[in-house]
Chain A
Amino acid sequence: MDFTLSKEHEMARTLFREFAEKEVKPLAIEVDETEEFPRETVEKMAKAGFMGIPIPKEYGGQGCDVLTYAMCVEELAKVCGTTAVIVSAHTSLCCDPILTYGTEEQKQKYLPDLASGKKIGAFGLTEPGAGTDAQGQQTKAVLEGDEWVLNGSKIFITNGKEADVYVIFAITGMIEKRGRMTKEISAFIVEKGTPGFSFGTKEKKMGIRGSSTYELIFTDCHIPKDNMLGQQGKGFGIAMHTLDGGRIGIAAQALGIGEGALDRTIAYVQERKQFGRAIGAFQNTQFQLADMATKAQAAQFMVYKAACTKDQYTKDHKTSYNVEAAMAKLYAAEMAMEVTTKAVQLHGGYGYTREYEVERMMRDAKITEIYEGTSEVQRMVISANLLK
């Protein structure tokens, strides 16, 4: 077992870090305050190839592994949780299912523009009555001639109004399963601008405030028959498999948020003086920092392990990575929440103000315990594997 990163990965980290420091960090406070999507940053990321890191070169991507992608999200999240989730949702939740389940025509049609960042991707599964219980959805798709007609709505959609290509899930019928009638769910690719596809409310969120979280509304939205993604009725499996991958992205985001808060706290406790000494000289501070750093390191190992396991899956299409992804997300998200909370505490009153970024990081961290499967769902996934 070798924990050393390759020279390529080290250089990639240098690139991501330099980009994050120079292009993302200076805007992070503004993005949070104004709740505006950082489009210029996304354009710069597109130019640098960040929007298609694990997509093969034949589809216009960078052809890198999942580990490199996770490191990119991690480094972005160290300075801005919003920017990190834009990349994560785009890559894991839109590019990845099209790459995995798309027909060759669909891949050729959508992936080059997505991987180059010319277009942005999003994913629509959640509905008002269907969060963790994905089977509870109401959005329907009915085949009329050569077109599917979508009706319904999706909520809490990351990259909502800014995306161009959406992977959307809808009920395409009822099927009998173990003697019971259940909903048959299928996946579709929907393009922005399709008549009948509009946007509803923009969510006012606690954190990741620049990430454009919108409701998507489908009213007699006609899409070509060929835009079904994967086979009819396989939508639930596609959604679950996509979320397994997405969790690695969110775990990397959580990891970065925690590490970013730790970095700022290490700097702060060496500057801040109380009772004539830097607060870093007090044993309480030192022990807090030791715990924070240890947990961040553990989370990093878990995230990288999950990413490497998914890489193995990419090669053999056999290796399972859902448990690794669930564990990494569970641990990294809870680490991020704990570390950012401690970071605010160590910053004292200043940490509670918006001037000091740990305040934003604590708000950003919370969502990582909720989206793409709550921590409770991750525990269900992990325990189901233990007791099968």
Chain B
Amino acid sequence: MKVVVCVKQVPDTKGGVKFNPDGTLDRAAMLTIMNPDDKAGLEAALRLKDQYGAEVTVVTMGLPKAEEVLREAIAMGADKGILVTDRVLGGADTWATSQTLAGAIRNLDYDLIITGRQAIDGDTAQVGPQISEHLGIPVISYAQKITVEGDSVVVERQYDDRYHVLKAKMPCLITALAELNEPRYMTPGGIFDAYKAEITTWGRAELKDVEDSNLGLKGSPTQIARASDKVRKGKGEKVTLDPTESVAYIMDKLKEKHVI
């Protein structure tokens, strides 16, 4: 069994957020961590490795610095790391990112692809499902539990108040929630091994079946109008009414603001 896990190096929000003049994140200037949902996805893959001897390949797209997140994944127990990095890939939105990752994954053999549900920097939850679309394989998102049954996966897909049990034949893609599991720690020996491991680096040339027009900032339909660190909240309004009147007042306000 071969599992590909997509991980993203994201800003550690504890260290503050910095932006480039064009509104994109200044990733080089921030402390980074492995995106929590992706880490849960990696842990799910490593459990498949423990249970079925699966081979786990971790793929990331980013600056050369993103190599660190692959070393971390190897220190946790992943077998291989692939870094997709190229100047022409910079400034990618979810569309261009998923095109890039799909282009990289086309070079690999896989039964299962696991991505995190969403990254804490963009919060879009689009890249995983888009990759599956580009590769023409089924996707089960929001996985809170994953089991393998023969050539299929059975996944509990989380909703606010319930979950669905879905079964899909492999190859398929699953997007993982941070709640899926408690990721293991790296081991000290694993860290030293990870720095001896070779990280495969791919650029634009290695991406398979992807048009230039779908890559990087130019291939990104999303345009960032404005970005800011913290949104200043309004002062708020204090109203003293009885409960029935209060509810009616709030409902009117919500309608006025087009919330409902």
Contacts and interface: CB of A to CB of B under 8 A. Distances in A.
Contacts of B90: none
Contacts of B186: 11, 15, 48
Interface centre among B71, B184, B192, B195 (most CB of A within 10 A): B192
A7 B188 contact: no
Interface string A54-84: 0001000111100010001000000000000
A48 B191 contact: no
Interface in B178-221: 184-192, 194-195
B129 to A, nearest CB: 31
A63 B75 CA distance: 14
A19 interface: yes
Contact of A62 (B68, B71, B72, B188): B188
A21 to B, nearest CB: 11
A12 interface: yes
Interface in A145-202: none
The 4 A-B pairs with the shortest beta carbon distances in the complex, nearest first, are A62-B189, A49-B187, A48-B185, A62-B188
Contact of A12 (B68, B184, B188): B188
B191 A19 contact: no
Interface in A14-65: 15, 18-19, 47-50, 53, 57, 61-64
A57 B184 CA distance: 20
A53 B71 CA distance: 19
A68 B185 contact: no
Contacts of A49: 187-190
A63 B192 CA distance: 9
B184 A50 contact: no
A53 B187 CA distance: 9
A31 to B, nearest CB: 20
B74 to A, nearest CB: 11
Contacts of B68: 11
Nearest to B71: A11
A53 B195 contact: no
Contacts of A57: 189
A8 interface: yes
Interface in A115-139: none
Contacts of B195: 6-8, 11
Interface in B156-195: 184-192, 194-195
B21 to A, nearest CB: 30
A80 B216 CA distance: 48
Contact of B185 (A6, A15, A63): A15
B192 A64 contact: yes
Interface string B45-88: 00000000000000000000000100110010000000000000
A18 B34 CA distance: 13
Nearest to A50: B188
Contacts of A48: 184-187
Contacts of B191: 8, 11-12, 15
Contacts of A18: 185
Interface string B113-150: 00000000000000000000000000000000000000
Nearest to B193: A63
B217 to A, nearest CB: 30
B84 to A, nearest CB: 21
A280 B127 CA distance: 47
14 contacts: A8-B191, A8-B192, A11-B75, A12-B188, A12-B192, A15-B186, A15-B188, A47-B184, A49-B187, A49-B190, A53-B188, A62-B189, A64-B189, A64-B192
A303 B225 CA distance: 52
Nearest to A44: B185
Nearest to B185: A48
Contacts of A68: 188, 192
Contacts of A62: 187-189, 192
A162 B186 CA distance: 26
A53 B189 CA distance: 7
Contacts of B75: 11, 15
B40 to A, nearest CB: 16
A57 B187 CA distance: 12
Contacts of B194: 11
A57 B193 CA distance: 11
Nearest to B196: A8
A50 to B, nearest CB: 7
Nearest to A23: B185
Interface centre among B187, B188, B189 (most CB of A within 10 A): B188
B67 to A, nearest CB: 10
Contacts of B71: 7, 11
A19 B188 CA distance: 12
Interface centre among A6, A11, A61 (most CB of B within 10 A): A11
A11 B72 contact: yes
Nearest to B72: A11
